[in-house]
Amino acid sequence: MISTLQKTIRHLKAVRVLHKPAVEVLKHPAPEDTVTASFGRFISEMKPQHLSPVVLQRSKRMVLDSIGVGLIGSTTDVFELALQHCQYMYAPDDISSVYGRRGTRLSPTLAAFVNGVATHSMDFDDTWHPATHPSGAVLPAVLALSDMMPAHNKPSGLDFLLAFNVGIEIQGRLMRFSNEAHNIPKRFHPPSVVGTMGSAAACARLLSLDASRCSHALAIAASLAGAPMANAATQSKPLHIGNASRLGLEAALLASRGLQASPLVLDAVAGVAGFNAFYEDYVPQPLESPSDGGHMFLLEEQDMGFKRFPAHLGMHWVADAAASVHKVLVGVDPGTVSPAQVQDILLRVPQSKYINRPFPESEHEARHSFQFNACSALLDGEVTMQSFTPAAMSRPDLLSLLRRVRVEHPHDNPANFNRMYGEVQVTLVGGDILKGRCDTFYGHWRNPLTNESLRKKFRNNAEVVLPSEKVEMLVDVVEELDGLGDCRVLLSQLQ
C-alpha cells in the first residue's frame, strides 16, 4: 500500500513535469550577419571604380572648400592656442604638415587635431543633412596619414579621394539611422560623434585594413566619440572637429596593430548601449557590399551645403531674408539703413536654443545668433568675414537694432536644415511693414554654389595665408586629383 508521503512525492514530480519551463536557446549572431560587420566589409571592399563622376566632382569641391577654410582658420586665436598646446606639451615629431605654417610639422595625430580645429574655428566649413560638418573631421586625418606614409608608398589621388569619400559616406549612413539626427542637435555635437567614425573609416580604408580590422576601428572610435552641445558658440567647439579627426585616425592606427573592440557596436543590442548611446531612436541597417554593385553613395543623391560667410548654417536663411529687406529700404531712401527708420524687427525662425542669442558677447556667439546675423544683414545688406570683428560687433547702430528684435517660432518652421525657413518682418516708424523670406539660400544643397563661386570663396580664404601662385596651384591640383599617381603634390602645397 502506497503511503501518503509517496503519493505527495509523485504529485510534486508530476507538477514539475507539467510546469517544466521552456528552455530558451540564445542564438549568437554570426559575425558576418551583423550591422557592424557589414560596415567593416563596406570600408574594406570599396574600390576607386565605385566612385561615380558625380561623387568625384562633388567630393573634390568639398576638399577644395575645406582646405581653404582650414587655411584661413589657421589665422584664428583658437587655432594658435591649439597649436601652441601641441608644440609645448608633446615631443616634436616632424611628420605631418600644419595648415598655413611653413616649416611646422607635428605627429600625424596632432596635425590632424590642429588642422581640424582650424577648419571649424570660424564655423565656415561645409554642412550636410542630417546635420553635421563632414569634411573637417575626415580631410585633416587623411592628409596627416598620407604625410605619414613612406615616400615610395604614397596614396594616389584616386585612393586619397576614395578614403575621403568612405569617411563621408559612413557619417551620412549612421545619421540616417536616426530621426533625431535629422534635426538641429540638442545633446551631442554631431561631428564629435559621426565625424570620429568617419575619420576612422577613411583612415582604415587608406591603410587597406581587412574587414575585421575596419569594424574594430569603428568600434574603437565609438569609445572616443561625443561632445556636448553646451560648448557650441565657444572656443571649445572647434576642438570637437579637431578631436574627431585625431581620434578617428588613432582608432584606425590602433586597429591596424590588432586592438579589438565590440563586434556589435553598431548593432541594436537590447540592454547594452552601443552607437545608440548617441541617438536614442537609432535603428541600424546593414550596408550593402560594394561588390554586389547595388550601393549608391549618398553624395550622389544629395549635394553638400557650402557657406558664403563664416557662421552657423541656420544664419544663412535669416541673413538672406534680412538682406532682401535692406534692398527695399535702400531703394526707398538711398544710403545706409538707419535704426531711426526701424520701430520693430520680428524674426520667424526654428526653435533652437543655442542659436537664439539676443546679445552675443563674442565672435563665436555672434556666429550662432539669429538676431546678430539678421541685424547685420539688415544694416549692411550682407554678412561677411568682417561682420564678426570687434569693431563691427560694437557699432552703436547694430546694437540699437538688436534691441528692437523679437523672435517667433512658427509650428511650420522645424529645426531641420532640409525644411526650415527664415523670415524677417520689419515695421518702420511710419507704420509700413516690410517682409523678407528665404526658403533656400544660395549655397544650400538644393541651390549649390557654382564652381566659380566656390573657387572665389577658396581664393579669398587661401590668399590670406598663401601666395597667389600657390593658391592657383592648389585649385588645379584638387581639380586633377583623381588623375594624380601620387598625392605628394597636394601635400606639398598646403604650407
Instruction: Identify the H or E element spanning 436.
Output: strand 433-438
Q: Could you give the C-alpha distances from 455 to 63, 65, 449, in angstroms and in order?
A: 12, 8, 9
Assign 47 to helix, strand or coil. Answer: coil
In this prediction, residue 270 carries a pLDDT of: 83
Neighbouring CB atoms inside 10 A of 84's CB total 11
Contacts of 21 (CB under 8 A, 6+ apart): none
Residue 9's pLDDT is 43
Of 423, 191, 178, 176, give the one whose Cα is nearest residue 314: 423
The pLDDT score that the predictor gives to residue 7 is 53
**Best CA proximity match to 45, nearest among 174, 215, 172, 257:** 215
Beta bridge partner(s), residue 269: 272
pTM of the model: 0.91
Residues of the chain with pLDDT below 70 are 1-32, 332-335
Phi-psi region of 347 (alpha: psi -120 to 50; beta: other; left: phi over 0): beta
**Three-class SS of 209-224:** CCHHHHHHHHHHHHCC
DSSP assignment, residue 438?
E
**The three cell numbers locating residue 45:** 571592399
pLDDT value, residue 92: 77
- Which amino acid is present at 139? L
DSSP letter at 289? P
User: For position 280, what pLDDT does the model report?
Assistant: 87
Which residues have a Cβ under 8 Å from the Cβ of 351 and sit 6 or more positions away? Answer: 409, 415
As a whole number of angstroms, the distance between CA 298 and CA 64 comes to 19
